[in-house]
């Protein structure tokens, strides 16, 4: 079954063309990579999928339903969640609280009604906390549950972001550079975590610059370069694609200058 379909997506920011005619689809349970040099348009693609802004052209379909025109919170309700390239935690809240905050789009009771706490609401809150604890266990942060988010290491903060995104029970999880700033051990832990998420039947789209991780974890990949999709295929196909090699090697040569 196709979970996500990206059809003929284009995005212009004034005179800048961030994306041109991008097409790919992601099947249920897949880990799909979105790679490409800096500025290729990857984060813009996530912003369009999550309706942070509309595409200039094209269509996004999620489980057969068009997403165009929905608000970001409606996208979350449909079952799409994301993490951000720059960590966006609440530093003064505990690790557990950061995850329960992620669940609020899920529970039925709003902020106002929680002022008059009914028995049902107390049960809901307890269930939310239990769920948050089980997500912390999944991402390996059970022991840090009561620490302030600010005190966590960088790799731990990234895992906490994933737990928070999972708290709203997504069918599709978008991860924006989850391995950025991680050491080798943390990256290996992240690999295991993504495998576990996949085993839960959650479909994952991953933006990542860590090529060994991408090649190990992804079922398929799309490669963007200057907003254009230059390749689509399995890691083996991508590795052997001359245009991809050129895009990356070209960049390395530039960096050496
Ligand atoms: N809100 C915006 N307003 C104007 N230009 C933007 C905006 N968002 C992105 N861009 C431009 O669109 C292009 C693609 O940027 P984007 O952040 O999507 O690339 P990326 O592939 O995610 O890069 P990186 O790997 O560096 O994060 C860049 O030229 C960027 O400057």
Tens-digit pLDDT profile for residues 65-109: 999 899 999 999 999 999 998 888 999 999 999 999 877 555 555
The more confident residue out of 249 and 39 is 39
How close is the Cα of 51 to the center of ligand 1, in Å? Answer: 15
Task: Give the model's pLDDT for residue 109.
Answer: 54
* pLDDT above 90 (res 125): no
Average pLDDT over residues 2-21: 97
pLDDT one-digit tens code per residue, 127-186:
889 999 999 999 999 999 999 999 999 899 999 999 999 999 999 999 999 999 899 999
The more confident residue out of 120 and 26 is 26
Task: Give the model's pLDDT for residue 127.
Answer: 87
How close is the Cα of 38 to the center of ligand 1, in Å? Answer: 8
Confidence (pTM): 0.90
Give the C-alpha separation, 99 to 42, whole Å.
Answer: 26
Axis-axis angle for helices 95-103, 154-166 (nearest 10)? 30
Look at ligand 1, atom 28, and give the residue with the nearest C-alpha: 39
The tally of CA atoms less than 13 A away on the side-chain side of residue 219 is: 14
Residue with tokens 């800048």, as numbered in its chain: 16
Task: Give the model's pLDDT for residue 257.
Answer: 47
> Is there an atom of ligand 1 within 6 Å of 53 CB?
no
> Is there an atom of ligand 1 within 6 Å of 18 CB?
yes
Task: Give the model's pLDDT for residue 124.
Answer: 83
- The DSSP output letter for 181 is T
Q: Indicate the SS3 state at residue 117.
A: coil
Average pLDDT over residues 113-133: 80
Task: Give the model's pLDDT for residue 131.
Answer: 93
Whether residue 4 contacts residue 172, with contact meaning beta carbons closer than 8 Å, is answered with: yes
> Is there an atom of ligand 1 within 6 Å of 52 CB?
no
Residue 60: C-alpha distances to residues 1, 2, 17, 44, 127 (Å): 16, 12, 18, 13, 33
Whether residue 10 contacts residue 70, with contact meaning beta carbons closer than 8 Å, is answered with: no
> Is there an atom of ligand 1 within 6 Å of 13 CB?
yes
Closest by CA to 196, choosing from 29, 27, 32, 3, is 29
**Helix residue ranges, H only, the chain:** 42-49, 72-78, 95-103, 119-139, 154-166, 184-199, 211-217, 235-239, 242-256
Label the pairing between strands 65-66 and 2-13.
unpaired
Give the C-alpha separation, 156 to 165, whole Å.
Answer: 14
Give the C-alpha separation, 5 to 8, whole Å.
Answer: 10
10 Å Cβ neighbour count for 225? Answer: 21
> Is there an atom of ligand 1 within 6 Å of 81 CB?
no
Task: Give the model's pLDDT for residue 88.
Answer: 86
How close is the Cα of 201 to the center of ligand 1, in Å? Answer: 30
Whether residue 161 contacts residue 176, with contact meaning beta carbons closer than 8 Å, is answered with: no
> Is there an atom of ligand 1 within 6 Å of 36 CB?
yes
The complex's ipTM works out to 0.95
Task: Give the model's pLDDT for residue 80.
Answer: 97
Whether residue 176 contacts residue 125, with contact meaning beta carbons closer than 8 Å, is answered with: no
Task: Give the model's pLDDT for residue 204.
Answer: 98
- What phi and psi, each to the nearest 5 degrees, are found at residue 200? -80, 0
The more confident residue out of 18 and 128 is 18
pLDDT one-digit tens code per residue, 181-218:
899 999 999 999 999 999 999 999 999 999 999 999 99
């Amino acid at each position: 079954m196709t979970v996500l379909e990206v059809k003929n997506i284009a995005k212009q920011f004034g005179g800048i063309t961030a994306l041109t005619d991008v097409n790919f689809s992601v099947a249920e349970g897949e880990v799909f990579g979105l790679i490409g040099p800096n500025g290729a348009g990857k984060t813009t693609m996530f912003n369009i999928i999550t309706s942070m802004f509309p595409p200039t052209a094209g269509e996004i379909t999620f489980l057969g339903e068009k997403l165009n025109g929905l608000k970001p919170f409606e996208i979350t309700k449909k079952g799409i969640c994301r993490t951000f390239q720059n960590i966006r935690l609440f530093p003064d809240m505990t690790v557990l609280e950061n995850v329960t905050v992620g669940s609020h789009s899920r529970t039925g009771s709003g902020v106002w009604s929680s002022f008059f706490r009914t028995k049902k609401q107390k049960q809901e809150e307890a269930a939310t906390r239990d769920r948050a604890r089980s997500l912390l266990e999944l991402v390996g942060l059970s022991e840090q549950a009561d620490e302030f988010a600010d005190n966590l290491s960088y790799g731990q903060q990234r895992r906490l972001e994933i737990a928070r995104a999972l708290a709203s029970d997504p069918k599709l999880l978008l991860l924006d550079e989850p391995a950025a700033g991680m050491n080798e051990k943390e990256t290996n832990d992240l690999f295991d975590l993504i495998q576990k998420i996949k085993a839960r039947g959650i479909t994952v789209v991953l933006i990542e610059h860590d090529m060994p991780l991408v090649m190990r974890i992804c079922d398929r990949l799309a490669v963007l370069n200057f907003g254009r999709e230059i390749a689509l295929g399995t890691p083996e196909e991508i590795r052997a694609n001359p245009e991809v090699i050129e895009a990356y090697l070209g960049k390395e040569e530039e960096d050496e200058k």
